[in-house]
Structure 1
Amino acid sequence: MAQVLEFKLPDLGEGLTEAEIVRWLVAVGDVVAIDQPVVEVETAKAMVEVPCPYGGVVTARYGEEGTELPVGAPLLTVAVGGTGAPEELTEAAPEAAPKATAADAVSSEYSGNVLVGYGTAGPVARRRRVQRENPAVAQAPVAAPAPAVARTPVAVKAPEPVAAPVAGHDGPVPVISPLVRKLARDRGIDLREVRGSGPEGLILRADVELALAALEQSAAAAAAAPAVAAPVAAPAPAVAGERIPLRGLRGAVADKLSRSRTEIPDATCWVDADATELMAARRAMNEAGGPKISLLALLARICAHALARFPELNSTVDTAAREIVRLPAVHLGFAAQTPRGLVVPVVKDAGTRTAESLTEEFARLTESARQGTLTPADLTGGTFTLNNYGVFGVDGSTPIVNHPEAAMLGVGRIIPKPWVHQGELAVRQVVQLSLTFDHRVCDGGTAGGFLRYVADCVEQPAVLLRTL
């Protein structure tokens, strides 16, 4: 006898409450091993593969590609033990899910106890889910759509469709989740006119879809009737333009930048610096043999030493306690543009790393960002950000502080420019540096001192010899 176990979307890291299904790695009927990746999801932090803790036959998947699920929502069910024959899966399915109360169902959006409405086969899969959780619902066979690829069939009974439109009622309407309520609102369904088939009259997603189908049938019948003489006003046209949902990584970036602008009173100062000597020093390092040193690594070393002299900028503000918290270590974030959008990987303990170690870590994190394999640990814990926007061919910028940090150093492109060097006009390699900082943690004098020290190190790398 096979036992059907439900695998729910696990907690994927600090502060992550939901994820979007990007790609299923298994199908219903596939045999999976313990800890085998079964789905690829995108969170606000990264794209990750989720392994299943059970081994057996996949009997159901919940959520199509592009669906957002909260942490704790069901991902799939696996038949564990037995031979995996269809008759065993049919017998095991009704016993897999515990009975639920209306209170459980209402909270399922977040707890993952009874979440309904994410079946991969549309209404049929959702009705199967309803039948397992509501044995009292009348059962009748429902034709499932033909699968695109031949799989081991799983025989499951489904409920008789419930008539959707009923007499209206007053008072609060019990709905299984905010997603179902939104579906009804977007499609013009009055939930007071829908009969719920869940426990204690709870309205499920299948109920809303049945009501929608009945509404569409009525509209089709009305369209087929003879036209009336009186003209009917046409609905107002929708606003033209492409609508792109702010969700996943793009939504997380939007939320974080909005919070930064709302909470942080920032200011920006900038200075031009002659980077000729820094470029010459890097060239000499790389000509001496050994692993190549990146320019970003040298700038990171400069930032780390500047933060040791001006620790006010390596801090955060505890708004609840009304305190500035100076942080003991420098965890350096750097802005990286990827096909999925802007991410900020973090080099841990950047202040104690050599230029060679920094180069290796920057390369590793950059490649992971491009492949979409950064972990939540790679994207959290930063205390200061280095933004090399010069790679986009621009000279300057006033970047937004990466909340909850206190400052960000921006580096423009390094290009030949006329410059007065040793009293004479010469062509030098010039870069613009900008510092955006939280004005709560320090005043302009401190910020200016930090930026001037960074510029001095860029112009005369020998200044760093005092810190070795």
Structure 2
Amino acid sequence: MAQVLEFKLPDLGEGLTEAEIVRWLVEVGDVVAIDQPVVEVETAKAMVEVPCPYGGVVTARFGEEGSELPVGAPLLTVAVGATDASSAAPGDDGAAAEEPSGGSESGSGSGSGSGNVLVGYGTGAPAARRRRIRPERNTASAAPAAPAAPAAVSAPSRPAPVAVAVGEVNGRQGPVAVVSPLVRRLARQHEIDLRGLTGSGPDGLILRADVDSAIRQAGQATEAATRTATEPVVAEASTAVASPSAAGAAVPAAAERIPLRGVRGAVADKLSRSRSEIPDATCWVDADATELMAARAAMNAASGPSGGPKVSVLALLARICTAALARYPELNSTVDTAAREIVRLPGVHLGFAAQTERGLVVPVVRDAHTRNAESIGAEIARLTELARTGKLSPAQLTGGTFTLNNYGVFGVDGSTPIINHPEAAMLGVGRIMPKPWVHHGELAVRQVVQLSLTFDHRVCDGGTAGGFLRYVADCVEQPAVLLRTL
């Protein structure tokens, strides 16, 4: 009888209490081997592939991609000890039977121990295991089998064995040295015969990179054949241009492919959702920031050499934003699309865009409406340092109600920001630089900045958005205007 065991999200170390599911590596019904990675998660530290300490058939998964799970929450359940054909994964005519090399395993029966140390899970598996492949019962009508892949035996440094999947691969029967259901699915989708591949992994294990390489080679062969049969010889320059086709965009075979996952994938999904769901509009204005820069210099000079941290331009702009949102609360809201309601939010949790080695992140200053410029500046500095070191927690990256994006640090004057879904607006700030400006009726050189506001047209019309942006510009040009709201 199979025993169903529950695998919970393990403690991934360094005090982390939760993780986001980035990508599932197995489906319900797949056969998994001991220590096989089953899910890719992202913590505030890094991307992690979590191995399962049990070998068997996946019976359930908990959590969708993009959702967050706390440590100790169920990840999946595995039926351990099922050796008959009925327990095999769909598409596999016979699962590899596990046979321990000797001894008993503590905890959960045959095949359930893990050689990979996870916090909360023991290492009850023997140091080495072997796989026994069940031969096909009806061999009279079967096609000649390709040479079998070498039997996978765990090396001393790899306590978990390489699984040899047996079953139908692209309509043909035979053993294949492949452990990942994702790799098998990718091969089926692109009609790649796994039995003809030589794995680059340990013990001849076929990895995704091997399948990707075979797909590229097949694509090159198909493209060459098509070009020879249907296309005349053209200039070399024209062949470098990719042209759309019914199957997708044709790209050069040597083009680099970078998976959209982790922080980059999360940002891509969020921005795509923003563009597809939010009817956004952008307005912008040039503002004379000379007086703002003078006010900042005066503030920092008054604090003295040891009077505390300096007030940054970003902190002043953030304080201006909170004052503007108090006057125009429509922009501190979100839209409940299911209920068709605009939800006005009671407090301002101000996000600010920060570029890190792991990609773009948006830390959130909580309750920014209750803070002064000095407090906001200190919190921005603290969160920025955490972002640079990869120590931001999920709570510090979520829950924003309005975002401030200072892209002027990249040396550009203007942009059209993409709203940070599900917020309703984002203020973009270009670089502050000397420009000719009419000041008191005369041409002068002033410190000028371009301000751009992208807003959700569902929550307000142009009059409200323009009023917000004009108030921000007035505060930049005449910081004394802020005194009215302090």
Name the TM tier (shorter chain).
0.5 to 0.7
State yes or no: 1:377 paired with 2:395: yes
Contact 1:274–1:429 (Cα < 8 Å) also in 2: yes
Which residues of 2 match residues 33-432 of structure 1 at below 5 A?
Answer: 46-47=44-45, 91=103, 94-97=105-108, 143-145=153-155, 147=157, 179=182, 181-185=184-188, 188=191, 235-236=222-223, 239-289=253-303, 290-291=307-308, 292-432=310-450
Rate the CA distance shift 1:91–1:353 in 2: closer, same or farther, 3 A: farther
Contact 1:20–1:248 (Cα < 8 Å) also in 2: no
Contact 1:19–1:44 (Cα < 8 Å) also in 2: no
Aligned to 2:9: 8
Contact 1:293–1:355 (Cα < 8 Å) also in 2: yes
Render the CA deviation track for 1:206-257: whole Å, top value 9, x for unaligned.
9x96999xx9xxx9xxxxxxxxxxxxx9554672311111111111111111
User: How many angstroms does 1:462 deviate by?
Assistant: 0.5
User: How many angstroms does 1:402 deviate by?
Assistant: 0.5
d(CA) in 1 for partners of 2:207, 2:462: 62
Rate the CA distance shift 1:99–1:146 in 2: closer, same or farther, 3 A: closer
Contact 2:349–2:365 (Cα < 8 Å) also in 1: yes
User: How many angstroms does 1:177 deviate by?
Assistant: 8.0
User: Partner of 2:155: helix, strand, or coil?
Assistant: coil
Contact 2:163–2:179 (Cα < 8 Å) also in 1: no
Which of 443, 460, 464 matches 1:442? 460
The one-letter amino acid of 1:144's match is: S
Render the CA deviation track for 1:252-309: whole Å, top value 9, x for unaligned.
1111111000000000000011111111111000001222111111100000000000
Render the CA deviation track for 1:410-448: whole Å, top value 9, x for unaligned.
111001111111121111111110100000000000000
d(CA) in 2 for partners of 1:347, 1:413: 22
The one-letter amino acid of 2:256's match is: E
Structure 2 unaligned runs (5+)?
26-38, 56-64, 77-100, 136-150, 196-201, 215-219, 225-251
Render the CA deviation track for 1:154-181: whole Å, top value 9, x for unaligned.
6x8x7996765699699xxxx9986254
Count of residue correspondences: 356
User: Partner of 1:404: helix, strand, or coil?
Assistant: coil
d(CA) in 2 for partners of 1:333, 1:244: 28
User: Partner of 1:16: helix, strand, or coil?
Assistant: strand
d(CA) in 1 for partners of 2:165, 2:433: 71
d(CA) in 2 for partners of 1:430, 1:316: 32
d(CA) in 1 for partners of 2:162, 2:361: 46
Render the CA deviation track for 1:56-101: whole Å, top value 9, x for unaligned.
xx99799xxxxx9996558xxxxxxxxxxxxxx9745x3444689x
Q: TM-score, normalized by length of structure 1?
A: 0.63
Aligned to 1:86: none
d(CA) in 1 for partners of 2:345, 2:419: 17
Contact 1:164–1:211 (Cα < 8 Å) also in 2: no
The one-letter amino acid of 1:253's match is: V
d(CA) in 2 for partners of 1:115, 1:251: 34
CA-based RMSD: 5.1
d(CA) in 1 for partners of 2:435, 2:207: 69
Q: TM-score, normalized by length of structure 2?
A: 0.61
Contact 1:184–1:190 (Cα < 8 Å) also in 2: yes
Identity %: 63
Contact 1:137–1:159 (Cα < 8 Å) also in 2: no
Aligned to 2:22: 18
Aligned to 2:233: none
Contact 1:336–1:366 (Cα < 8 Å) also in 2: yes
User: Partner of 1:305: helix, strand, or coil?
Assistant: helix
Contact 2:436–2:443 (Cα < 8 Å) also in 1: yes
Structure 1 unaligned runs (5+)?
22-40, 53-57, 63-67, 75-88, 101-113, 148-152, 194-205, 220-232
Contact 2:357–2:388 (Cα < 8 Å) also in 1: yes
Contact 2:20–2:66 (Cα < 8 Å) also in 1: no
User: How many angstroms does 1:184 deviate by?
Assistant: 3.8
Rate the CA distance shift 1:252–1:98 in 2: closer, same or farther, 3 A: farther
User: Partner of 2:20: helix, strand, or coil?
Assistant: coil
d(CA) in 1 for partners of 2:154, 2:420: 49
Rate the CA distance shift 1:259–1:7 in 2: closer, same or farther, 3 A: closer
d(CA) in 2 for partners of 1:276, 1:189: 64
d(CA) in 1 for partners of 2:435, 2:52: 66
d(CA) in 2 for partners of 1:5, 1:301: 49
